[in-house]
Amino acid sequence: MAHRLEIDGVRRVFPGRAFGGPSVVALHGLSLTLDGARPEIVAVVGESGSGKSTLAQIALGLDDPSAGTVRFDGTSLGRMDEGGRVRFRRAVQAVLQDPFSSFNPFYRVEHAAILALVRFGLAPDRRAARSILADACEAVGLNPADTLGRFPHELSGGQRQRLMVARAMAMRPAVLVADEPVSMVDASLRATILAHLAAMRDAQGVSIIYVTHDLTTAYQVADRLIVLYRGHVVETGTPEEVLKAPAHPYTRLLVDSVPWPDLARPWGRVPKVADGAPVADGCPFRGRCPDATAVCARMPGPAVLSPTRTVRCHLHRSPPA
Amino acid sequence: MIAAIAGRFAMLVLVVWMAASVNFLIPRLADRNPVAERLAQVAAQGGSLSGIDEMVKSYEARFGLDRPLWQQYLGYLGDLARFDLGYSISNYPMRVADQIALALPWTIGLLGTATLVAFAVGSILGALAGWRRGPALARLVLPAFMVLSAIPFYLVGLVFVYVFAYRLEWFPTGGGYTLGSEPTLTVGFVLDLVGHALLPAFSIVIASIGFWALAMRSMMVTIEGEDYVLFAEAKGLKGWRLFWTYGVRNALLPQVTTLALALGKVVTGAVLVEMVFGYPGLGNLLFESVKLNDYFTIYGCVIVLVLTVAVTMLLLDLIVPLLDPRARRRAS
Amino acid sequence: MTGVAVRRGAVRIGITGVRRYLARNPSLAWGLALAAGLVLFMAGGSLAWDTTLAEPLSAPVARPPSWAHPFGTDTQGRDLLAVMIVGTRLTLKIGMIAGGIGVLVGAAVGFTAAYAGGRIDAAIRTLTDVLLTVPALLFLIVVASSLKGEITSTTMGLMIAALSWMAPARQIRAQALVLRGAPYVVMARLGGMRGTEIVLREMLPNLLPFLMASFVLALAQAILASVGLEALGLGAQDEPTLGMTVYWMMSYSAFVRGFWWWIAAPIVALCLVFVALYLVTAGLDEIANPRLKRRVVA
Ligand SMILES: Nc1ncnc2c1ncn2[C@@H]1O[C@H](COP(=O)(O)OP(=O)(O)OP(=O)(O)O)[C@@H](O)[C@H]1O
Ligand SMILES: [Mg+2]
């Protein structure tokens, strides 16, 4: 059955510290829909602190939005009944950003995965669960014999990260939220794992939110790209469109900072240094934007450049319908 | 800032209110009539107590035992707010508040002096032990004091009393001053006072040096690794200047916070020391009252001790940010 | 290969590991040695010595140490060796009751506060802070003086337990707050685990060293409070705990009459108990507090 996960106008504000510290708006009204009928990989890119992990946590129902809703199969997570919550838990799985503390140091590494597989009825007993997990390990290039049965501190960061991907694959989710799933593995393995993610999409119909700050891998696997800047979606589109011809100055900056294999491409246009204080209103990027003008003191509305493409910048206008 | 201070005051009020409520409730739950008990006791000894009728009357009136519980409670809180702690049962017609007023200066004097001395000696010892270039001797004696700090003051006091007062007879065996001597401001009387205070104060000091030293040492170890100390050292500042201006001065303020946290322990410890030495402060009053089942005096002492601890803690809490620029910045 | 290989997990430290650890943590080593000595004294003493001699009038009165009574006797005709054997046991029993209940209740309260958050958390926090401001001994004096004459070592333990849960609750709440956001706890939630199960299965095992340290600290505090109360005369009147022995010794003027052995016995026993607990607490702190551990190693 195809599931549907809708993130609708989600805003997340972290209150400041007790004595009047400024509060942080990690997400400003973000919307994103994953439809199981058309499985796709959505890459979320942006610099550190742009709100990627916050989005991942909210999509997983681990954090509650300050405003807006997350709906699973049409029901808001907040109003879900017991059965709905269990269905949601089974269907939406994750690879967390921090592989070092994602395993309970008290248990062997397979502890949580085996429990979950049995609990969700994906395996009749622990032995079966173990063999399912072992298969998944092989898929991500891990030798189950010298991975399973170990304690977390006995594995390298890359091994733990792959084990998390293996666990997520074994859970057969409908939606996978992968927060920097390949940040610690070397290039050749990275390609293998990404290929497996793509295979999950194609063979099992899994929709994937792929959080990364690595534009090249996003370009490789993603069907859709969302560029986040300080909690604002500044540009969306297919990786092809966005990366070949970035419309937003921030995206351009991101793209220019990547050492692309194409040597003719200029690399590392010196960006303006970020000014510390968040911009109160108006375009959040204007403090760093080389093209900023007076109009940028007003928040630009989204301009729809093509059916798949939007951008939030005064440089662009929606073409008249 | 204002909100923080208001919060601390609210806390103080809560603490005192809770202690008062315990004082009100517990005796009622235990269902005891202290005056009747005292009467029975006196009758058993074949004596008669002067003014016993008044006492019974004031007792009944005070607790208004026929009134509903909440009225009794409100009345009790009202009395407390006016510092009316009732009458001592064993020393009728002495008022509990007067008894406490007589005892409190002794406790504050002994406890204050002993704590200040222990704080100073302990902090310096700990600072020396934590300073890399400090004398080896400090590091050697520190463990001994740390182990001593595990032992309650009054046990140390018991040993001291036996050895120095009863065996060696260097010090008086107890009391605040020689009975019969006239409390005047003469050199002789002051020496007498000090002589009586020395042993109890020493038991407190000896058993608490280790506590301060340990806290100070860990502060010093941290500070010695800080960039500003390394920088000062690189600039050529050395030896004692570095130790005092960079080490001790920065480590001392957190010690004040430690003092606030340890206050309860110090006060109860001192209460028991007074009992051992028959030192005429609140602790001894408490001990004597427990012996005589003088409930009102017991409750009065407890309330006053709670109040003392809570107010001192509040003061320390408010003072630290004034002294410490780091804490000040954090609070505003 | 996998089956044969010896796996050393965080909790599965071999004998050599323990020995090596204790060599690095002398405070814990000494504390445990002292504690073992005390346990041996209690257990061996109960077997090898007639503990009924701890009853009044079972021995000649006020004798200095001799072969028949190695620790001497008191003015009530109790053999002080027997009193020490029984007294140490009773005093530890009081501490165990109070410390055990204190940590259990504290853990429950702490986890509840951390999980419930919001108002419940604020209420619990205020309550613990208020109760911690008042020295426990003062509350206990009020309660014990109202119950004077009816107190046994068990009720004493329960009474102290009622005031022993706050410090553990506060510490455990702080720990639980940290662990609640730990990615492995999040993974457990994603695997379908819920509140209580997560606490018991995922958090608790990692908090064991911490709970242990909490327990020993609560035990030490409880013994401190009970002995203080007893020295004031507010303990079990007919049970020879260490604190009551101090009280009887003081009330029967052991000082004036020069009965040094009667003075020495409970003081030495209590000092050993307190020092042992202090050393163990300090040692466990190094395990439960990684920040300290690093400093010890460096
Ligand atoms: N629990 C929290 N409390 C307060 N602020 C938070 C919290 N979590 C995140 N933030 C803030 O929200 C913003 C977005 O954080 P987020 O973790 O989503 O960034 P990110 O895009 O995942 O960054 P990275 O690439 O470094 O992982 C940051 O400014 C961060 O400081
Ligand atoms: Mg992140």
User: Which structure tokens are listed for A237?
Assistant: 């589109």
Sign of CA dihedral B28, B30, B31, B32: negative
Taking CB atoms and an 8 Å limit, are C274 and B268 in contact across chains? no
Domain housing B277: 106-294
Give dist(CA A133, CA A109) in Å, integer. Answer: 11
CATH of the domain at B249: 1.10.3720.10
CA distances to A256, A267, A273 from A270, in Å = 9, 9, 9
pLDDT of residue A54: 93
Which of C125, C132, C142 has the highest number of chain B CBs within 10 A, making it the mutation to test binding with B? C142
Residue A19: list chain B partners with CB under 8 A: 1, 4, 330-332
Taking CB atoms and an 8 Å limit, are B155 and C270 in contact across chains? yes
A19 interfaces chain B, CB cutoff of 8 Å: yes
What's the mean pLDDT in B61-85?
A: 75
Q: Measured in angstroms, how far is the CA atom of residue A49 from the centroid of ligand 2?
A: 7
3-state secondary structure of A175: strand
Give dist(CA B332, CA A20) in Å, integer. Answer: 8
CA distances to A156, B199, B236, C149, C183 from A164, in Å = 12, 66, 53, 63, 12
- Residues of A183-192 as b/e, b for ≥16 C-beta within 10 angstroms? bbbeeebbee
Give dist(CA A272, CA A62) in Å, integer. Answer: 35
**If we measure between CA atoms, which residue out of A117, A152, A120, A119 comes closest to residue A133?**
A117
What's the mean pLDDT in C263-274?
A: 91
Give tens-digit pLDDT for A109-139. Answer: 999 999 999 999 899 999 999 999 999 998 8
DSSP letter string, A113-130: HHHHHHHTTSSSSHHHHH
Give dist(CA A39, CA B185) in Å, integer. Answer: 95
Q: Residue A145 carries which DSSP code? A: G
Residue C181 dihedral angles phi and psi, to the nearest 5°: -90, 0
Q: Whose CA is nearest to atom 9 of ligand 1?
A: A54
Q: How many domains does chain B have?
A: 1
Q: Whose CA is nearest to atom 4 of ligand 1?
A: A14
| Total length of chain C | 298
pLDDT of residue C107: 93
Q: Whose CA is nearest to atom 1 of ligand 1?
A: A14
DSSP letter string, A86-109: HHHHHHEEEE-S-SSSSS-TTS-T
Give dist(CA B294, CA B135) in Å, integer. Answer: 53
Give dist(CA A188, CA A183) in Å, integer. Answer: 12
Give dist(CA B233, CA B247) in Å, integer. Answer: 12
Instruction: Output the 3-class SS for C110-171.
Output: HHHHHHHCHHHHHHHHHHHHHHHHCCHHHHHHHHHHHCCCCCCHHHHHHHHHCCCCHHHHHH
Give dist(CA B101, CA A99) in Å, integer. Answer: 64
Pick the CATH number of A4-244 from 3.90.550.10, 3.40.50.300, 3.40.50.2300, 3.40.190.10: 3.40.50.300
pLDDT of residue C99: 95
* 8 A C-beta contact, residue A5 and residue A74: no
Give dist(CA C48, CA A78) in Å, integer. Answer: 67
pLDDT band for C294, please (50, 70, 90 cuts): very low
**If we measure between CA atoms, which residue out of B206, B189, B175, B149 comes closest to residue B276?**
B175
**Residues having CB within 6 Å of any atom of ligand 1:** A 14, 24, 26, 46, 48-54, 97, 213
> Which residues make beta-bridge pairs with A44?
A211, A226
Ligand nearest to C-alpha A45: 1
pLDDT of residue C253: 82
Give dist(CA B330, CA B325) in Å, integer. Answer: 9
DSSP letter string, A216-255: HHHHHH-SEEEEEETTEEEEEE-HHHHHHS--SHHHHHHH
Ligand 1 test: best mutation among A53, A98, A215, most atoms within 8 Å of CB?
A53
- CB neighbours of B307 closer than 8 A, spacing ≥ 6? B16, B19
Strands A175-179 and A207-211: parallel
Give tens-digit pLDDT for B120-160. Answer: 999 889 888 887 777 888 888 888 898 888 899 999 998 98
Stronger pLDDT, B35 or C270, i.e. the higher one: C270
A106 interfaces chain B, CB cutoff of 8 Å: no
pLDDT band for C165, please (50, 70, 90 cuts): very high
Of residues B152, B221, B302, nearest to C138 (C-beta): B302
> Which residues make beta-bridge pairs with A32?
A7
Give tens-digit pLDDT for C202-243. Answer: 998 888 888 988 999 999 999 999 999 999 888 888 889 998
Characterise B50 by phi-psi region: left (phi > 0), alpha (psi -120 to 50), beta (else): beta
Give tens-digit pLDDT for C70-91. Answer: 888 888 878 888 889 999 999 9
Give tens-digit pLDDT for B262-311. Answer: 888 888 888 889 888 888 888 888 888 888 878 888 888 888 888 888 88
**Cis previous bond, B93, omega within 30:** yes
* 8 A C-beta contact, residue A6 and residue A70: yes
Residue B162 lies in a domain: yes
User: Which structure tokens are listed for B316?
Assistant: 């320390």
**If we measure between CA atoms, which residue out of A142, A134, A176 comes closest to residue A158?**
A142
* 8 A C-beta contact, residue B223 and residue B251: yes
User: Which structure tokens are listed for A19?
Assistant: 């004595």
Taking CB atoms and an 8 Å limit, are B159 and C267 in contact across chains? yes
pLDDT band for A91, please (50, 70, 90 cuts): very high
pLDDT of residue B54: 66
- Please report where in the chains the tokens 């064993």 appear, as a residue: B90
Strands A67-72 and A175-179: unpaired
pLDDT of residue C290: 52
* 8 A C-beta contact, residue A196 and residue A139: yes
Q: Residue A32 carries which DSSP code? A: E
- Please report where in the chains the tokens 């109160």 appear, as a residue: A280
Give dist(CA B63, CA B78) in Å, integer. Answer: 12
Ligand 1 test: best mutation among A17, A23, A24, A213, most atoms within 8 Å of CB?
A24
Q: What pTM did the predictor assign?
A: 0.81
- Domain C33-59+72-297 belongs to what architecture? Orthogonal Bundle (1.10)
What residue type is assigned to position C127 of the chain? L
Q: How many CA atoms are closer than 13 Å to the CA of B72, on its beta-carbon side? A: 17
User: Which structure tokens are listed for C293?
Assistant: 């551990």
Is C87 exposed, middle or buried, given 0-12, 13-18 or 19+ CB atoms closer than 10 A? buried
Taking CB atoms and an 8 Å limit, are A104 and C184 in contact across chains? yes
In the sheet that holds A67-72, the strands lie side by side as A24-35, A4-14, A67-72, A75-76
Residue C155: list chain B partners with CB under 8 A: none
